[in-house]
Structure 1
Amino acid sequence: MIARIIAAAVLCASTSVSSLYAQEASFSTGLASQIKPGLIDCGPGSRLSAVGEIRSNENTMRTVPAATNFESAPKASDLFNECGGTRLLSISQLDLQSVPVLDAGGVEEFVMYLFADNYFELYINGQLLAVDPVPFTPLNSSVVRFKADRPLTIAVMAVDWEENLGLGSENDGDKAFQPGNGGFVAHLQDLAKNTVTITNRRWRAQTFYTSPLQNRDCLVASRQIRRSTPCDDRGVDNADGFSAAYWDLPLDWMMPSFDDRSWPSASSYSNKAVGVESKKAFTNFRDVFDTEGADADFIWTSNLILDNLVILRKTVE
């Protein structure tokens, strides 16, 4: 019995200590091979949410921009979805009773309003509740209604999608390889419409896929700091030799027991920085995203442009 207790203590100590140290980044170079031409096709004017694979330097096959649950998970209900979904003009048009109540293992009811550039997967207390119904464009917004018990562990996989697979960029503007920006905003309310939490700098944010890197030496990695802000994010026409950096997702990143205390705090960004001031999926619902006294920030890591697969976490007591 004593031996078991000592062994358990050593394991716990080892887990706690190891979470403080950064996993070494692995890298790939060049474009990935397409394995899916698009998770959905919204027709002209939209961008195909293609998925690719590429082998990194330590001989691991990487899925870009992310391995998701899009094809198997429940989709969040629409606020505004130009890809064959509902297009509300304002939050006053929302019939909340028509939104299904999802079960996160509890009795208290909550409503969460979400907008991602481009894609999210929402976990509550370790359980996957819903995913974004539109992985890439046109940009959309969603609502999720669920029951859970406090404390609430909110964990979100957020993905800035890409057209140039493995090189984190789009065919946008006058450049063939133009890095795009991400962004995630949410407002969580209880059944009485009281604010429970909003996205802000009190959340934690960590990147697990950063691209494109014109020069790998620009990347700063120390313990759980993964900083790509010194890296060049200008668009180019020739990305020969450009790289991507990867870190393995912890298997339990969505669980309440996961220790995120060594992760950086989220960085907040203005509506203008994310580019939503003319997007109806956002502006039609300023009442919930820019609520007076509860104005939710767009959040991400410290690099809105080059960090493409980001985990966001918040615990609400």
Structure 2
Amino acid sequence: MYFSPKFAVSVFLSLAIGLSTLPTSSFAQKPPPPPKHEDGKPPPRPGDDRPPKRGGKEVNESKIDSGGSRQVLGEVWVDNWFKLYINGKPLLEDSVSIRTERSFNAERFEFGSDFPMTIAFEFRDFMENETGLEYIGSRRQQLGDGGAIAQFKDVASGKLIGATGGDWRCLTVQAAPADASCARERNPDVSQAVCAQTRVEVPGNWTDPGFDDSNWPKASVYSARDVGPKDGYNQIQWDSSAKLIWGKDLKKDNIVYCRASFGG
């Protein structure tokens, strides 16, 4: 079929005019995909019971005016929360609340201390109630798991003073549930036999240097694969002697007190 040059030009001009009248949105690029969280997953949709994002900075740094003849650098990572005592006196509490389900931050802090130095930790894993469970009422209802690691260095020399390991003494103060089947209960409550807790009373002077912890069990040591540490843990260069510790049961032990002394 033959088209004259005049006819072809007419068709071209008609197309050009028609296209110029189309809204610019017709040629816009497709909208970008929804943003993702740091773990690469899309944000939760309404009603999704995916666990919330972790709280707090990955490494919270601080300097504590505590007196003492030597300056010490402490570094701690805990799943989920800690309170630290030095020579019987409270020094530092985790900067992220115990009520934060996924608190995987670390703490780096400088403080003064006299030697010998007694280190006492109160470690807690997150639990919604005394059954020890987390995500209660959701499809993720489960036993949580703990884990803690800490190291202390001399600021002047950079040398290691001490670190968590199997020589520490750790007493489980609260453990629950009595049976893992509690996680399948529709309304888990500590009054149910499978959800019952075990509690141990501890003397008020357990943080003191002179406290006798010889009858406390030695700390259980775990691998990074056992604990699955993340976030702030990876921002600290751990000494090879620093180990992840907890009570004898990573999942059921929810409140653990641990002690050690150095520089004696």
1:112 aligns with 2:112: no
TM-score, L = length of structure 2:
0.71
Q: How does 1:162-173 map to 2 (within 5 A)?
A: 162-163=127-128, 165-171=129-135
| Cα distance in 1 for residues equivalent to 2:139 and 2:182 | 9
1:196 aligns with 2:196: no
Whether the 8 Å CA contact 2:81–2:103 is kept in 1: the answer is no
1:187 aligns with 2:151: yes
Q: Cα gap change, 1:268/1:233 in structure 2, threshold over 3 Å: closer, same or farther?
A: farther
* Residue among 271, 274, 281 paired with 2:224: 271
* Other-structure match for 1:297: 243
C-alpha RMSD of the superposition: 2.5
1:46-65 per-residue CA deviation (whole Å, 9 max, x = no partner) reads 38xxxxxxxxxxxxxxxxxx
| Cα distance in 1 for residues equivalent to 2:71 and 2:234 | 26
Q: Cα gap change, 1:84/1:264 in structure 2, threshold over 3 Å: closer, same or farther?
A: closer
| Cα distance in 1 for residues equivalent to 2:116 and 2:89 | 14
| Cα distance in 2 for residues equivalent to 1:259 and 1:253 | 8
Whether the 8 Å CA contact 1:107–1:147 is kept in 2: the answer is yes
* Residue among 213, 231, 236 paired with 2:184: 236
Q: How does 1:20-99 map to 2 (within 5 A)?
A: 46=52, 83=55, 85=57, 87=58, 99=62
SS in 2 for 1:206: strand
Report % sequence identity: 30
1:101 aligns with 2:64: yes
Whether the 8 Å CA contact 2:73–2:154 is kept in 1: the answer is yes
Q: Cα gap change, 1:233/1:206 in structure 2, threshold over 3 Å: closer, same or farther?
A: farther
| Cα distance in 2 for residues equivalent to 1:268 and 1:84 | 26
1:141 aligns with 2:106: yes
Whether the 8 Å CA contact 1:109–1:146 is kept in 2: the answer is yes
Deviation at 1:172, TM superposition (A): 7.7
- Residue 187 of structure 1 aligns with an amino acid whose one-letter code is Q
* Residue among 237, 256, 264 paired with 1:310: 256
* Residue among 272, 275, 284 paired with 2:235: 284
- Residue 63 of structure 2 aligns with an amino acid whose one-letter code is P
Q: How does 1:242-257 map to 2 (within 5 A)?
A: 242-257=195-210
1:159 aligns with 2:124: yes
| Cα distance in 2 for residues equivalent to 1:172 and 1:128 | 32
List gaps (5 residues or longer) in structure 1: 1-43, 48-81, 89-93, 215-231
Whether the 8 Å CA contact 2:70–2:112 is kept in 1: the answer is yes
* Other-structure match for 2:94: 132
Q: Cα gap change, 1:193/1:260 in structure 2, threshold over 3 Å: closer, same or farther?
A: same
Whether the 8 Å CA contact 1:177–1:237 is kept in 2: the answer is no
Deviation at 1:207, TM superposition (A): 0.8
Structure of larger gyration radius: 2
Deviation at 1:304, TM superposition (A): 1.1
- Residue 207 of structure 2 aligns with an amino acid whose one-letter code is M
List gaps (5 residues or longer) in structure 2: 1-49
Q: Cα gap change, 1:178/1:45 in structure 2, threshold over 3 Å: closer, same or farther?
A: closer
| Cα distance in 2 for residues equivalent to 1:174 and 1:110 | 43
SS in 2 for 1:150: coil
1:25-65 per-residue CA deviation (whole Å, 9 max, x = no partner) reads xxxxxxxxxxxxxxxxxxx9538xxxxxxxxxxxxxxxxxx
